[in-house]
Each structure stands twice: as C-alpha cells, then as structure tokens.
Structure 1
C-alpha cells in the first residue's frame, strides 16, 4: 500500500470540533432518511478545540478515553482506492459518488432477503454513537466518534438460518462514480466478510456518520462497516450488498495477497506484516502532524481483547492472521 502526504480539505468545509464537542443535547443527522436523534456523551477539557480527555474507556468498549482525531484528519487522510491510491485522493475525488438514492441487497441463507432502501435499513435499529480506535494495517491509527447502528441488530431482522456461518459484504463498483477502478489495483468490486459470531458481536457497527454529521463520501458514505478490533481494511465502505453464506467468503485483500492479508486480520502486535512490524503505530490525534505523529505501542485486538478475545479461543492467531 502506498503512503503519500495528505491534502487537507478546505477549512470552510469542516465543522468546528468545538461545536461538536461542546454539545450536551440530542443532535440530528440528516442521511436522506428521517432525522436520527443521537445522544451526545460528555467530554473533558479542550485544547485548541480538541479534547484533552474523553470519558474513561467503557467496559463494553463503546467509548474510548483517548484523544480524538481531528475531523480534518479523519476526512482527508483515507484509504479508498476506488478514488485513488494517495491518502488525499478520496477527499478530492469522492465528490462524484452519488449516495442518493441508495439501496442494499440482502441474499443468502436468511428468511428475509431482497433489495432494501437505505431508509429501510436505518429503521431497523436505534441510532447510537460509538467512539472507537481505528488501526490501519499500514501502521497508523485514529480515534473516531462514529454514528450509526449496531450490526447485529440490523442483521437479526433478516433472520439468518442455521446455515449462515459467515456474512459477506460488497462495495459499490461504478467506474463513472469511482474513476480509479480503471487502475486495476484489486479485482473489483471490493469484498469483505466476517464470521457470523463476529458480525453479531456488540462492537460490530454500521456507520452512517461521524463527528455529529452524515458520513462524508471519502469515509464510505452512506453506509460502512466498522470492526474496531480488526485492521481498517476489514471495515468495508459504501456497502451495496450483504450475503449470508455457509462457507468463508472471498475477501479482496486476501485474494490479492494471501500471504499479507488474512481473512480474520485481527490487530496483533506479535504478528508482523511481511514488510513491516505491527508492534507500534502512529496515532493521528489532536493537532499532531499526520506524518510525524507520536508512535505508541499497538495492543492485541486494538485494545478490545476483553470484549472479543473469547471469539478466537483455541485458534492459532498467527496462522489465521
């Protein structure tokens, strides 16, 4: 994967973090569906418009006590190869993505299948906010306040059968909207998958927004997966299809380079990528430079071991990277 200097989006397009962070009331997020009322969590003191402390880590993992990454960085330092290989390419190129209307096709081993509008999907579970760490396989990380729906609550509405052992996800692949598809970096469309028990875990999340507003195109609008204990490429963006399968589904990076990107891809500092160590990460947060951010130790399962380690009891985590 390539790492290039990012290009910040114009300040005029950025919601001041102080506005978001100081709110202590219900907020609404317009997502082409009815307004979603979301309860804000309390913040600590601020420095330069960025919190010096968030509420302590919650036992369920839904809140992180770490400094948030700036909105400017979350929205301008991205991997979304359908819009280019550079970190700043998605913020410059993703304006061509049309997120209205949007629909998701549900198929496979479930009692309820078919094509559902985004509005229908958003009605399947109450909206909530989660503050999660995001760890990229490239060795950088962020802390992001996501808005969205618990994945399990959504999937349960489709009534998966006993034959559903995995859940496969597929991204939109439209070369008119996503010009970098022509570069042939991967075998498009982008595909990802989870084991059914992973998908049903309370931490697994379908994000529809961040920082109190609708999800920007470059961050995977209008619907993306967030799996905080796995490397970021597992959190597939701009989802258009969900399928319940009996066998392990093909995933894009695993198909492209199986010796580098496994199906599970749990964050594991003890398992190096073939081309670099995973023992530490550049934490992009606060006002720190994206290229020279402080390096911190990487934690097993990205710090969520207490919540998810039991899912992998008895597995060789080195073999099943």
Structure 2
C-alpha cells in the first residue's frame, strides 16, 4: 500500500495495549486449553458474551508466526496517519463499541449485524496465514475469524450479484488521518463474488488469541491471504452486493499502480519496484515471493484464462 508522496509506508502499527484494553471495551485474553482458545471481550455491547470460543488452527503452514509486537506496531492504516507507526500512536481514539456492519445491495435479506451478534452467531477459528504487502514485506499472522461466505449466505445474494463492495468507517473525529485528503474517504475495497465466497477469505475479529487491536482494524476486518495487503480493508461498517465492479480506493488514487484484483504475483512488478522477492519482518535476508502468496492450489482456478497483468 502506498501514498503518492511516499514509498515507505506500512500496515501494522501499535497502540500501547493500555489504550485499547478499556473497561468498557475489548479485553483481549490469550488461552489455549485443549482444542479451543478463549477471548474475553469486556464489553462489545451491554449484552456482549463474557467469553468467545474459537477452534484451533486448521490452516497449518510450516512457518513461524511473526511476533505480536511486530504485527501490532508495523502497518498501514491511513485513517490514523501515513507513517507505519501512526496507527499505533493514534488509533486509541477509535470507539469500537457499539459497532454495526450493514450488509445490503443485491440480496434477499439485507440487514445490520451488531459486532457482538457476529461473534455469537458465527463459529470462530484460528487461521495462520502468510500475508504479503505490496511494498515487498511480509508477515505470518494467526488470525481469528470466520469465512466471509458465512455472513453473505445470511443475506442470500441474488443471482445478479457479481461483486462485493466494502467500506470503512468515515469519522475524522475518531480517525485523525481522515482530516487529510490523502485518499477519497471513506476507504473502499471490493472482491468478485466468487473470491468473497472462497473458503480462504476471512472476516477477522482477532489475532494471536485476542481481539483485534484498533491499529489492526478493530473490530472487524477483511483478510484475503493470496492478495496484497491493501485489499484487507479494516474497521468495516458496510458490505454491499452489486452487479458492477466496485471502485476501490487505490484504483481511484493511483490507477497506474493499483488494480482491482491485487493478487500476489512475483512476475508482475509494481511500477516502482520488483515483486519477485520479499522481506519477512524479523528476517535479514529476502525470500522469493510465491505466486498467489503460496495459495495457488486453492485459488488459481478462479483466474483461469485471465491476463496475469490484469490480476495485479
């Protein structure tokens, strides 16, 4: 993810935990007893459940997760500033309870989901995913969430629905980065419907056994591990089913650098740097970038016959 005036920006910056572990909001607890872990949200809403269970990791990869301290302190979230340390410093102002996500558009049963209802309604599981930023750095993150397809099935998409559009909260009082016109706010993203329904596509409400820190996209964000990080929209408030390809924020800002698909491809370079290799946070040496970030067996068939350059 990049802004016009800088090629040195990130996606995971940290707010001191004290800023988000507030008595009236999320208290993230880590537990791993037997086959399940627990997260304890202090108060997503007045009637929030005391504990939330999640299933253990089913997406085994032979890689060591990036330390939580790095994941929570080095990231892009321009709503809180364009420097990679800004989200951690500034995200404490975000109110994450109460919170609702509207799901509408071309569906039979449009509705609003309260975040506490989402946590109750959809079984959560841990997924350890490789994550690749368009700026040629990467991480391995244990996410906690549920397939986006489960939420979409609740609203029963119409046969005319072909795409899914996403929107982040737009509130400059809570998100100081929105006071600058670096992006046409609110932040927007989109997927094709078949991409959204793929089992890998996750709506995440936590990581490392705890609920999402604000700087990582609390209280709910998108995770699409075969795509570059700018596709992982954070702090989602609206999901819309549509028959037209949505306009996305980075396409609108820099159409010569960012496409709709954003699939990881070592053979298609960004206009200003190579994508052939990446730097895993915490490692000195660079490693080869994997096509589709290593998830080609699960997703390559979605793009059969398409021009690889278009998929960037």
Q: TM-score, normalised by structure 2?
A: 0.88
- Does structure 2 conserve the Cα–Cα contact (< 8 Å) formed by 1:9 and 1:72? no
Q: Of 283, 293, 302, which residue of structure 1 is paired with 2:293?
A: 302
Q: 1:63 and 1:153, CA in 2 relative to 1: closer, same or farther beyond 3 A?
A: same
Once the two structures are superposed, what CA deviation does each residue of 1:108-142 show, in whole Å capped at 9, x if it has no partner?
00011132211222344211110001100001000
* Root mean square deviation, CA, Å: 2.3
1:188 aligns with 185
Aligned to 2:36: 26
Which residue pairs with 2:306 in the alignment? 315
Which whole-Å deviations, capped at 9, do the CAs of 1:235-267 have from their partners, x for residues lacking one? 100000000000101100011111110000100
| C-alpha displacement of 1:21 | 9.1
SS in 1 for 2:199: coil
- 1:99 equivalent to 2:96? Answer yes
1:49 maps to what in 2? Answer: none
Determine the structure 1 residue equivalent to 2:26. Answer: none
1:106 to partner: Cα distance: 1.3
Shift of the 11–80 alpha-carbon distance from structure 1 to 2, 3 Å rule, reads: closer
- Residues of 1 paired with 2:248 and 2:13: CA distance? 29
Match of 2:171 among 170, 174, 178: 174
Q: Is contact 1:28-1:38 (8 Å) kept?
A: yes
Q: How many residue pairs are counted as aligned between the two chains?
A: 293
Give yes or no for the alignment of 1:257 onto 2:254: yes
Change (3 A) 1:7 1:193: closer
Q: Where do 5+ consecutive residues of structure 2 fail to align?
A: 22-28
Partner SS, residue 121 of structure 1: helix
Aligned to 1:211: 208
Contact 1:145 1:211 in 2 (8 A): yes
Distance change in 2, residues 1:132/1:242 (3 Å): same
Q: Aligned-pair distance for 1:65?
A: 1.3
Q: Is the 8 A contact 1:122 1:149 kept in 2?
A: no
> Residues 73-98 of structure 1: CA distance to partner in whole angstroms, max 9, x if unpaired?
00000100010111111011000000
Please report how far the alpha carbon of residue 105 of structure 1 lies from its aligned counterpart in structure 2 after TM superposition.
1.0
**Shift in Å at residue 9 of structure 1?**
5.9
Could you tell which deviates more after superposition, 293-302 or 264-273? Answer: 293-302
SS at 2:155 equivalent = coil
SS in 2 for 1:157: helix
Shift of 1:14: 11
Matched, 1:280 2:282: no
In structure 2, do the counterparts of structure 1 residues 251 and 305 end up closer, same or farther at CA, with 3 Å as the change threshold? same
**CA displacement at 1:7 relative to structure 2:** 7.5
- Once residues 250 and 123 of structure 2 are traced to their aligned partners in structure 1, the CA distance between those partners, rounded to angstroms, is 32
Distance change (3 Å), C-alpha of 1:106 and 1:22: closer
| 91-100 or 62-71, larger mean C-alpha shift | 62-71
Per-residue CA deviations over 1:128-171 (Å, capped at 9, x if unaligned) read 11000110000100000000111111111110000110000000
2:219 is aligned, of 217, 222, 240, to: 222
Over 3 Å off, 4+ runs: 4-15, 19-25
